[in-house]
């Protein structure tokens, strides 16, 4: 039995390789965790993290946050947007995967698949530009049609009635094909003899989908759903930040956009850090719980 130290010495080259990435993690992932203490201080830019005075009571910023009437709205917006995205972002890719799985023309299946996951690689800025080309009130194609048909235009991007639908719709457009890939992979893994048996028993195509394809990928569906629930507090900062405007804050402002504005635009670092910490802790609990549940469907992340 070689002592651990000599054993470890043999691996010095490997440890050396690990060093740069570990240094990165230490500085840009773990050091900010220390920086969380600004949530318990009255941070001032001039004095820095260490010298800024502690706040009394220590939970002062949290009580300010939870006591604010705006907090309820933020939480509501974050949850609603997430839930809508989870519902549509699960069902539509599933439907697309079923369609592709039933498509008997190989060339067509391949083309549609390729085209449908292309939008995933476009940035939110580009998608915002495209959305404007269709939905903008002054020049959008859809609004021109609406005006010809009904005489009215709709402010899709500026009305509180429509804004969430725009966010959910654009997200589904961006990631539908991408989301379908994994369902499709699971469907390909289903034993073909089960379809054969069903066919011999006289099952129609729809019944085959219902009794074989869907149960065959049930675990994957549940697993992905559970994991997405673990991220329910992340409603998509970049998308919302790029799309939103003053008129739609009541329905669009989420925790992350509020933290950005409060901390970096209004320089209220401590309050924003408190909100961020709240989000991180709830997020941690949700993700660990989600992983716990996912384990039951034999597919935990780690």
Binding to another protein by CB under 8 A, coded x per residue (else -) over 147-166, reads --------------------
Q: In the bound complex, what is the minimum distance in angstroms from residue 273's beta carbon to another protein?
A: 4
Task: Tokens for 7, please give them.
Answer: 């054993």
For position 202 contacting another protein by CB under 8 A, the verdict is: no
C-beta of 24 vs 70, nearer to another protein: 24
Contact between 92 and 169 (Cβ < 8 Å): no
Q: In the bound complex, what is the minimum distance in angstroms from residue 300's beta carbon to another protein?
A: 11
Q: Which of 188, 233, 221 is nearest to 92 (CA)?
A: 221
1, 56, 121, 152: which one binds another protein (CB under 8 A): 121
1, 3, 28, 56: which one binds another protein (CB under 8 A): 28
Terminal Cα-to-Cα distance of the chain (whole angstroms) = 30
For position 132 contacting another protein by CB under 8 A, the verdict is: yes
Q: In the bound complex, what is the minimum distance in angstroms from residue 128's beta carbon to another protein?
A: 6
| Three-state secondary structure string covering 214-236 | HHHCHHHHHHHHHHHHCCCCCCC
Cα-to-chain-centroid distance, residue 128: 17
71, 102, 164, 219: which one binds another protein (CB under 8 A): 102
Q: In the bound complex, what is the minimum distance in angstroms from residue 132's beta carbon to another protein?
A: 6
Q: In the bound complex, what is the minimum distance in angstroms from residue 29's beta carbon to another protein?
A: 4
Q: Which residues contact 298 (CB under 8 A, 6 or more apart)?
A: 219
Q: Which residue pairs, CB below 8 angstroms and at least 24 apart, start in 132-140?
A: 132/157, 135/166
Q: Give me the DSSP letters along 147-197.
A: HHHHS----TTT-TTTHHHHHHHHHHHHHHHHHHHHHHHHHHTS-HHHHHH
Q: Which residues contact 173 (CB under 8 A, 6 or more apart)?
A: 119, 127
Q: Which of 180, 173, 274, 278 is nearest to 233 (CA)?
A: 278
Other CB atoms within 10 A of residue 23 CB: 10
| Number of Cα atoms under 13 Å in the Cβ half of residue 62 | 12
For position 269 contacting another protein by CB under 8 A, the verdict is: yes
93, 119, 155, 236: which one binds another protein (CB under 8 A): 119
For position 133 contacting another protein by CB under 8 A, the verdict is: yes
14, 149, 151, 152: which one binds another protein (CB under 8 A): 14
DSSP assigned state of 55: P
Q: In the bound complex, what is the minimum distance in angstroms from residue 295's beta carbon to another protein?
A: 15
Contact region with another protein (CB under 8 A), list: 35-43, 60-68, 74-82, 149-157: 35-43
For position 144 contacting another protein by CB under 8 A, the verdict is: yes
Site size for another protein (CB under 8 A): 98
For position 51 contacting another protein by CB under 8 A, the verdict is: no
Q: In the bound complex, what is the minimum distance in angstroms from residue 10's beta carbon to another protein?
A: 9
For position 267 contacting another protein by CB under 8 A, the verdict is: no
C-beta of 178 vs 249, nearer to another protein: 178
55, 65, 96, 251: which one binds another protein (CB under 8 A): 96
């Amino acid at each position: 039995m070689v002592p651990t130290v000599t054993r470890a010495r043999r691996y010095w080259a490997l440890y050396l390789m690990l060093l740069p990435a570990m240094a990165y993690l230490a500085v840009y992932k773990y050091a900010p965790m220390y920086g969380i203490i600004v949530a318990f201080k009255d941070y001032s830019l001039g004095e820095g993290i260490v010298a800024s005075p502690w706040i009394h009571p220590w939970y002062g910023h949290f009580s300010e946050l939870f006591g604010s009437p705006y907090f309820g709205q933020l939480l509501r917006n974050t949850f609603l947007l997430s839930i809508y995205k989870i519902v549509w972002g699960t069902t539509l890719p599933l439907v697309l995967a079923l369609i592709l799985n039933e498509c008997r023309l190989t060339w067509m299946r391949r083309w549609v698949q390729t085209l449908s996951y292309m939008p995933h690689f476009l940035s939110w800025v580009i998608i915002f530009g495209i959305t404007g080309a269709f939905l903008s009130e002054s020049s959008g194609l859809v609004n021109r049609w609406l005006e010809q048909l009904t005489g009215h235009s709709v402010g899709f991007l500026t009305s509180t009635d429509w804004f969430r639908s725009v966010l959910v719709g654009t997200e589904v457009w961006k990631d539908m094909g991408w989301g379908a890939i994994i369902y499709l992979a699971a469907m390909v893994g289903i034993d073909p003899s089960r379809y054969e048996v069903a066919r011999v028993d006289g099952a129609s195509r729809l019944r085959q989908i219902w009794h074989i394809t869907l149960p065959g990928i049930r675990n994957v569906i549940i697993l992905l759903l559970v994991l997405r629930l673990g991220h329910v507090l992340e409603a998509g900062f970049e998308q919302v930040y790029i799309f939103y405007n003053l008129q739609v804050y009541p329905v669009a402002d989420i925790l992350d956009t509020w933290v950005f504005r409060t901390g970096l635009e209004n320089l209220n670092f401590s309050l924003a850090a408190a909100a961020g910490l709240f989000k991180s802790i709830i997020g941690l609990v949700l993700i660990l719980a989600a992983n716990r549940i996912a384990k039951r469907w034999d597919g935990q992340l780690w």
